[in-house]
Amino acid sequence: MDESKTGIKTGENQVRKERLPKNWIKMLWNFIRYGKCRWLCIRTLFLAGYFRYAILKKEPEELHRTWGKRGEESALEAPEEAYRYAGRVGYAVEMVCERTPWESKCLVKALCAQYFLDRRKISSTLYLGCGIGENGEMLAHAWLRCGSMYVTGGDGTGYAVVDRYAKGESA
């Protein structure tokens, strides 16, 4: 073969074409189409948009009233089926919120998961915490716990708990 026609020298490895980044709609559609928990993901998308809008536009006092009983915690144990459902909710919320065109950070994720657990009468606790970043700046974080399982946001390591909201059957 002629080198000028192919552009590849003999003996060299052929370089793969770089994949072009997909747009977010196509990525989200493929995830919903082929992913686990399809209907949960579709509801999560709309719920994440609602909570993001509410955080930006509503008064904080109005938001806090819907989060549950302030200063209380839910039980540290939950039934086995509650853990299974919380795992599916955590998976769906994490996957969808990572692909939204708007910011869906820790508070939006925790509120989405809390909503789904509350609909199934599963108790959970929403934690709000503060920490210090690498450059000395103050950081805020939110995470959700169901029984002994952390559904979203990790376990809050490195953050001091500022407030907690319990919601669900035993709260």
Tens-place pLDDT, residues 49-86:
999 999 999 998 888 888 999 999 998 999 999 999 99
pTM, 2 dp: 0.78
Contact assessment for residue 151 and residue 113, using Cβ atoms and an 8 Å cutoff: yes
pLDDT digits (tens, 9 = 90+) for 83-137: 999 999 999 999 889 888 888 999 999 999 999 999 999 999 999 999 998 899 9
Please report, for the chain, the start and end positions of each structural domain, with discontinuous segments joined by +. Answer: 23-167
Residue 165 has φ and ψ, to the nearest 5°, of -135, 120
Q: What integer pLDDT is reported at residue 22 of this predicted model?
A: 57
